Amino acid sequence: MLYFDRPFNVGDWIRLPEKNTEGVVAEIGLRTTKIVTFDQKPLYIPNSVFSSIMIENPGRSDYRRVELAAIIKTFDADQVTTLLAALRDKISQDTRVNTQLETFVHMHNITKDGIQILISLYTTTRDYAVYLDLKQSLIVYTVEAAAAQTLEVSC
């Protein structure tokens, strides 16, 4: 199956959810495939396993999804609505955000500490460094927007 379907290549980052495994494909042999986990442990998986499980190959995606959830320490919906508008404006100006896909910036839940917001969007690239930089920027945007209204952010 591996030699005909080619669900992954050497160097691809793959996930095997049913096996609770993910890592980078190091070798594809006749009988086994070597995957190196992110903590540098080699795993040798019989190739026959791949015909009966789901294989995720995030490395073949053109972009990454970024999600951020935060609790705004208030129960004032008007203040949170204003904060969300400021976040949407800031996010719409960020060139790392893929505007061809949906971006969500909404109130998500109510907790004992305040209103939880959820930001979900996609990057313009699959580059992990861009993903991390954008996620960091979302945190900064959220903290700054909250501070502008004298609100606090929690996890």
pLDDT digits (tens, 9 = 90+) for 126-153: 888 999 999 999 999 999 999 999 999 9
Residue finishing a domain among 60, 90, 106: 60
Instruction: Write a three-state SS string for 109-138.
Output: EECCCCEEEEEEEEECCCCHHHHHHHHHHH
As a whole number of angstroms, the distance between CA 76 and CA 18 comes to 42
Same domain, residue pair 55 and 78: no
Residue finishing a domain among 39, 60, 81: 60
Same domain, residue pair 30 and 105: no
Give the CATH number, domain containing residue 93.
3.30.70.360
Same domain, residue pair 51 and 73: no
Same domain, residue pair 53 and 36: yes
Check pLDDT > 70 for residue 125: yes
Same domain, residue pair 55 and 70: no
In 3D, which of 138, 136, 143 has the Cα closest to residue 104? Answer: 138
**Predicted confidence (pLDDT) per residue in 14-29, tens digit:** 999 998 999 999 999 9
Same domain, residue pair 149 and 130: yes
Dihedral angle computed from the Cα positions of residues 69, 18, 123 and 107, in that order, rounded to the nearest 10 degrees: -20
Give the CATH number, domain containing residue 38.
2.30.30.60
Domain range spanning residue 147? 65-154
Same domain, residue pair 71 and 145: yes
Same domain, residue pair 33 and 91: no
Question: What's the one-letter identity of residue 105?
Answer: V
Q: Which two tokens stand for residue 141?
A: 């945007």
Q: Which residues of 110-146 are buried (b: 16+ CB within 10 A; e: fewer)?
A: eeeebbbbebbbbbbbeeeebbeebbebbeebbeebb
Same domain, residue pair 100 and 56: no
Question: Total domain count for the chain?
Answer: 2
Same domain, residue pair 36 and 77: no
Q: Which two tokens stand for residue 114?
A: 């305040």
Percentage of the chain beyond pLDDT 90 is 88
Same domain, residue pair 103 and 41: no
